[in-house]
Amino acid sequence: MASTPHTQDSPGISALKAALPAKAWTQDPDIIAPHLTEWRDKYFGQTPILLTPGTTDDVATAVKICAEHKMPIVPQGGNTGLVGGQTPQGEVLLSLKRMTRVRDVNPIANAMTVEAGATLHAVHEAADAADRKFPLTLSSQGSCTVGGVLSTNAGGNHVLKYGTTKELVFGVEAVLPDGQIFNGLTSLRKDNTGYDLSRMFLGAEGTLGIITAATLKLFPKPSYIARVMMGIASVEDAVALLTRLSGPSLAMFEVMPHIGFAAVVDNIENERDPFSEPHPWYVLTDFEVATAEAGEALVTALLEDAFAAGLVRDAVLAQSDTQFLAMGSIREHMSAGQKFLGGSIKQDITVPINHIPEFFAKADAAVQSIVPGCRPVGFGHFGDGNIHYNIAQPDSDDMAANRDAFLARWDDISEAVFDIVDALGGSISAEHGIGIMKRDTLATRADPVKMALLRRVKTAMDPDGIMNPRVMV
Amino acid sequence: MASTPHTQDSPGISALKAALPAKAWTQDPDIIAPHLTEWRDKYFGQTPILLTPGTTDDVATAVKICAEHKMPIVPQGGNTGLVGGQTPQGEVLLSLKRMTRVRDVNPIANAMTVEAGATLHAVHEAADAADRKFPLTLSSQGSCTVGGVLSTNAGGNHVLKYGTTKELVFGVEAVLPDGQIFNGLTSLRKDNTGYDLSRMFLGAEGTLGIITAATLKLFPKPSYIARVMMGIASVEDAVALLTRLSGPSLAMFEVMPHIGFAAVVDNIENERDPFSEPHPWYVLTDFEVATAEAGEALVTALLEDAFAAGLVRDAVLAQSDTQFLAMGSIREHMSAGQKFLGGSIKQDITVPINHIPEFFAKADAAVQSIVPGCRPVGFGHFGDGNIHYNIAQPDSDDMAANRDAFLARWDDISEAVFDIVDALGGSISAEHGIGIMKRDTLATRADPVKMALLRRVKTAMDPDGIMNPRVMV
């Protein structure tokens, strides 16, 4: 195993400083500071040195030295992770932020090769310039990076049509824990020459190596997107509606409960309710179609059917770019809106889509029995079964005073929710990953055969435990 | 490493016979015989026993005994593999043919769980009954099995839209080399709880464990498929045309040269040329659309554009199911048609799509310089860069007499083609896999870092080398 954290002037740290260009490292606490906290203020870190290599060769040099000195490394992308996987506790911190180059865009092969430090937003812009689409969208896309979204297998709103990040990657370039460079960059859709090694790094949270670049899959741009927001009565109706709307054009199916929807439109500037009266639940859908006319025809037919089946109370089709963006904005602000509901205990889980109603029935009852009066705000990606099941503290005259006592129940509520998720065949981490936050939970709850395999892979790839050693396995 | 092949009455074989139900094994040579040859008559095998377990538990029991006695195992699906991966040479032969159950079809989650011995055709029928589509289609679909297509990561005609088999799987159940059962069956689209272990078994050709069941991804059925066949002038025009036709509806882009097309329509019963005059190359495309009218409108617009650009000489839109099937039948019979051209040296390669013209220019020259007068028949999945680059023997008055001398140049021609493929960043095995046939080639040509990683994974998962030990790595 890797040795304990090294000090600022240990031989290993000195070797790094001697081997790397001056721009590729710093020990300046002011420069390092923002890399040691994250936006939820849950994790605070420390490191003897921040490495900022500009090339894959510099990453390889750095990792080789760390391996020789058995110094553990924490890789960091845009520092937007939600489970503490990017925060060092004495390890060497390696940020990919200077490796931002788009190496190649190939619209014929529908492929783009880009370095790990490029933001998701930069990927969108490069794809757009080639008249192509990269379908992953996240609220953090201005900050989060390719290396981070690949390492955490980020999800988002379009998974029901395009899959999670790992489905959007042809291959990666990665520096292995011994400093060797694995080159899996390719735009080949068919290549049956061995195990899918690139895939091992996707969702591995930096525990098997450091992704330095990737070839991403691009898609033809849909010519038109028809966006519809619907007011509906219940979670059961949401699932029934999903089945009716399902088809090759359906690219998004997001659901929000009234309490979360109201927290946005009532509190956040420029947000407004597109409906004339409140509804228990809201659904936001996108249909990728050839033309505005085709979209209107498709949506009209689908809605007629859904109204006839009693599944929809009201519906609005976006008629302009402004309306399109306004509808999306409500969904994007769901997390921000919940800050107006006080303390929030957050869960990121998946259940099989057909079990969503049963999940809500059981989970709502379970959390109420732990904290009577607490307010579940389960929203998100029903189209792929992923629910951000957040629980707001009970309404009271003194929310601020009661906040900490409520948040102290985090683990109790998590365990109750995870029990239900496990019983339904779901996942305790849908898209945020394991990191530090859920490492113990995974070790306790995962099938022992799976857990043993995870550890066998980790040991085979990183026998000295250099790579992000406190994370995941 | 595993010990040398066991005899019919070794203690290990006796232990298998004692532990398994009578239906789960045989030593009857007549029953075993068809499992020891394959349809191209390139590989002939031998085995002390054929196991035919009916349940995952029986597979686990068998593998555990084999592990204890260090007896190597060759798993076999429908025995349609093309690279010798399924043919035992003294190993225990384990056929999944009795495990054919469709365990669950879930149209809401777009998922189906099916056992490894079910045929691809049975999967299509079960999906169809639930009004869903499983997009993998292969000429061998009546015989090939789920376990086989997953283990070889089969490709086919619709990869440009749907990906290869490994993109069509949620997770697998597999028996590990020590006999433990890994349960990765899930219909969850988002599950970030560790490395993608199920993925390791996909394309692994049975070298890491035995897939016993899988949860497959289903898709909404396209309401209508518009099929168009085009006559075009050149490979360059094929690639230019692919770029123009590319879009969310394009689901197939197959190309055939005149020599291969003519071999089908001139020689095979009921096949006919839909064009009034010959063309140098032919393209077969599918567009998945909402209605026949939408398809006709889309195809008309695309063809007007393509004719105006001088990329298409003639085009036919299928106007009936009969025409639809007749066009597809020509493509399906490309392999059969080539039997009328004499001996054939077959290559299954991928190059980046934009390099397809360069590949043909260089490969045609290279093979001509090895065997003057030989006739390249490069056809297949240009939409994903995969070319079945077959070379027919030179035309002569005595084809049969010259056949063996021509086929003796197989390795020379392969090496010349692989050199070109490697220089273009392609793959020497697109969809058929490595097996026995390309094992040495892979070891020689693969990046040493990749090769070392493949072996590290193999050793970590199967330290005694029990699983399909002569294959791939």
Q: CA end-to-end span of chain A, whole Å?
A: 13
pLDDT at B275 over 80: yes
Of all residues in chain A, the one with the smallest CA distance to B246 is A220
- Interface contact flag, B473 A194, Cβ < 8 Å: yes
Residue A177, token pair as written in the block? 């824990």
Rounded CA-CA distance B203/B200 in Å is: 8
Instruction: List, for residues B347-388, the tens digit of each pLDDT value.
Output: 999 999 999 999 999 999 999 999 999 999 999 999 999 999
Surface of B (373-392) touching A: CB under 8 A: 381, 384-386
Residue A395, token pair as written in the block? 């309404």
pLDDT at B259 over 90: yes
Instruction: List, for residues B70-81, the tens digit of each pLDDT value.
Output: 999 999 999 999
What is the pLDDT confidence band of residue A6, given thresholds at 50, 70 and 90? low
Sheet with B25-26: strands ordered across: B25-26, B50-51, B92-95, B73-76
Average pLDDT for A430-445: 91
Rounded CA-CA distance A262/B215 in Å is: 39
Instruction: List, for residues A237-285, the tens digit of each pLDDT value.
Output: 999 999 999 988 999 999 999 999 999 999 999 999 999 999 999 999 9
Strand duo B50-51 + B92-95: pairing = parallel
CATH, domain B342-432, list 3.30.930.10, 3.30.1180.10, 3.30.70.2740, 3.40.50.300: 3.30.70.2740
Residue B259, token pair as written in the block? 């020599």
pLDDT of residue A5: 54
Q: Is it true that B224-331 and B342-432 share their CATH fold? A: yes
A342-448: CATH topology = Alpha-Beta Plaits (3.30.70)
Q: Is the distance from CB of A441 to CB of A363 less than 8 angstroms?
A: no
In degrees, rounded to 5, the angle at the alpha carbon of residue A112 between the alpha carbons of residues A111 and A115 is 150
Rounded CA-CA distance A283/A315 in Å is: 9
Average pLDDT for A282-297: 93
CATH, domain B224-331, list 3.30.70.2190, 3.10.180.10, 3.40.50.300, 3.30.230.10: 3.30.70.2190
Torsion, Cα of A24, A29, A30, A32 (10° steps)? 50
The rounded mean pLDDT for chain B is 95
Average pLDDT for B435-460: 95
What is the pLDDT confidence band of residue A3, given thresholds at 50, 70 and 90? very low
Rounded CA-CA distance A444/A220 in Å is: 43
Strand duo A224-232 + A219-220: pairing = unpaired
Q: Which one of B173, B192, B196, B288 would you mutate to disrupt binding with A, by most A Cβ within 10 Å of its Cβ?
A: B192
Residues forming a β-bridge with A89: A46
Rounded CA-CA distance A125/B62 in Å is: 54
pLDDT at B4 over 70: no
For residue A33, count other CB atoms closer than 10 A to its CB.
11
A102-220 is classed in which CATH architecture? Answer: 2-Layer Sandwich (3.30)
Q: Where are the beta strands (DSSP E) in B38-110?
A: 50-51, 73-76, 92-95, 102-106
CB pairs under 8 A between A and B: 241
For residue A326, count other CB atoms closer than 10 A to its CB.
17
Surface of A (194-223) touching B: CB under 8 A: 194-197, 199-200, 202-204, 208, 219-220, 222
- ipTM summary value: 0.93
Instruction: List, for residues B136-179, the tens digit of each pLDDT value.
Output: 999 889 999 999 999 999 998 999 999 999 999 999 999 999 99
Residue A347, token pair as written in the block? 């869960």
> What is the secondary structure of A320-341 as a DSSP string?
SHHHHHHHHHHHHTHHHHHGGG
How do the domains of chain A map onto residue ranges?
Answer: 11-97, 102-220, 224-336, 342-448
CATH, domain A224-336, list 3.40.30.10, 3.40.50.10070, 3.30.70.2190, 3.40.50.720: 3.30.70.2190
Chain B residues in contact with A446 (beta carbon < 8 A): 193-194
pLDDT at B130 over 90: yes
Minimal C-alpha gap between A159 and chain B (Å): 7
pLDDT at B2 over 50: no
pLDDT at B6 over 70: no
What is the pLDDT confidence band of residue B304, given thresholds at 50, 70 and 90? very high
Q: What would the 3-class secondary structure string for B269-324 be?
A: CCCCCCCCCCCCEEEEEEEEECCHHHHHHHHHHHHHHHHHCCCCCEEEECCCHHHH
Rounded CA-CA distance A306/B333 in Å is: 45
Instruction: List, for residues A354-387, the tens digit of each pLDDT value.
Output: 999 999 999 999 999 999 999 999 999 999 999 9
Q: Is the CB of residue A250 less than 8 Å away from at least one CB of chain B?
A: yes
Altogether, the residues listed in chain B come to a count of 473
pLDDT at B3 over 50: no
In the CATH hierarchy, which top-level class contains the domain A11-97? Answer: alpha beta
Q: Is the distance from CB of B79 to CB of B86 less than 8 angstroms?
A: yes
